[in-house]
Chains A and B, each alone.
Chain A
């Protein structure tokens, strides 16, 4: 049985804040963030947007591209996020209720820093492959926050991507050719219960965490599949900033042309669980039938999930049935100042 993506969709909030606007408040040097981390702006959720609302809209777009899959036929929904609105009460139940997938469905919320979305994708495709369910959905969504003034504040952003997996030959958009995960206990980034903001190992986040896991996972899946970087049309990597995904891609042997469509972080920021999944949606938006796409996520703590997808002829027929990803990032945006940002992210203490 050939399992693959039969529907995909992204959703990005409209508000943006520029790096200069954040740097101004903290007396930081904006050009060094722009050049050093290749970050220009990031998305900001409104007060009425959260992981659940972004997930619902991304999932609706995935259904639009699925060629009429009835929500009630979806047997599993996994929402991966590090910013679930409730500490106890699953995001997945609200998402599935809004989509009309309940009640005959298996639901779980997943957490694994920035790779919770790709975990959901892995589980969803595995259940379809095992014949347990006909369709399964994996969603990565986040409205992440960095501590005020911390380096993460320049990148922590909001967005979601949803993927519907199935095995109906006439619905396949991108076949899953291989999967491969590479995971260790690496303390590069964490947040304890009841803490508002995460802590990170600063310089420790680069080589032993991000680069080691992505390199190992990407090289592992290419070896497993007997493929080399030049065999791929595109590659998408986790993007905590603008610089890291280009550097890891180059080290692995990929060219800028292969990385460009899925490289969104300079204008979107780091959408955590949504990051590489949204990059994949933007890549599918431009991919051609027969193209091979490599996607490798990274979640602190730490691990990387890799997928190799082969795009089918059907992509041409479905990609414009829902809003494409890149226009959502570039068009109709609302630029906000730091004061508005602080209000929207609930950083201002209100009188009771």
Chain B
């Protein structure tokens, strides 16, 4: 007797009692659907959050900031006795000495009062380079990114975020047009793609060459921060150490520069979702338990109904293990069919929930991700439930006395 035969026989039983089987399966279906929905929604949400934290969508991010320059002393804010900045020398050294960098983004932040004709817009500017678009994975929609000449000559050129562009130009072609930035004339060379994080737009921004920001807007020769992107998440630690080495070499208080990695935030997010998934998993487990008891019940009914059949089979030479196998197979088939239905239901539910979330938070690129792993878990779990709850009824069937069993009608 092959392994498949009892499975087919199990399917036959299921077909013979469609409604009854379906009702029995409901518990398993709900349990597995819950596993799939929770796991796949959680996974989609987790990836989303992680990619929000580290804009580059998968690569590791390291932010470097100078120590706080101002401290409170005797009720007054005073500048620290040592003044240290992030400078171009720091950036150049990092660029030169650190392998595996995806992008190194300099940033100088400030507020920008923008004007075109009679229209005024309050936004913020970021003095940076083309590495900005690389690192933050924020493409230029039209026009061009900042180039080497812009930086070298500290040109008064800018790229507009999509909100700024919309407010100032209302859809007109902005390329080559002049706008006023804090009262000075700048030429628009490009427009940034839209960017929405957690349902809010980042598009109220203007990019200018960092040299321009340093010389013309702030009158300082340093950066607000440097952001390094590494291709390989595992390289984050190594890069942090290298950054620290550069800072120590260049600065007296190099240890006090702040270096933050995306890893901490990713860990936090992972932790939250791990808990969420555990709770979901617990719910799923309980419904699988209930489903399993349902299966046990239906199998006991099935054994009672088919006592005579068992008697006949035993009279014809079925060994206890044959009968045991027959009912276990039936139980496993039942629960696996339930598992498969549950996977489909859970998948549909995940998609539905993702859709609803997108309606509530427009623009959130939220997805439901069904991993092969979760499907394996669901199938494995449901067949384990089938075996576990099938054992007792199957044993009862296997131990029936042939003469007693045959006497039943």
A and B are partners in one complex rather than unrelated chains: no
Binding site for A on B (CB under 8 A): none
Q: Which A residues are within 8 Å of any B CB, using their own CB?
A: none
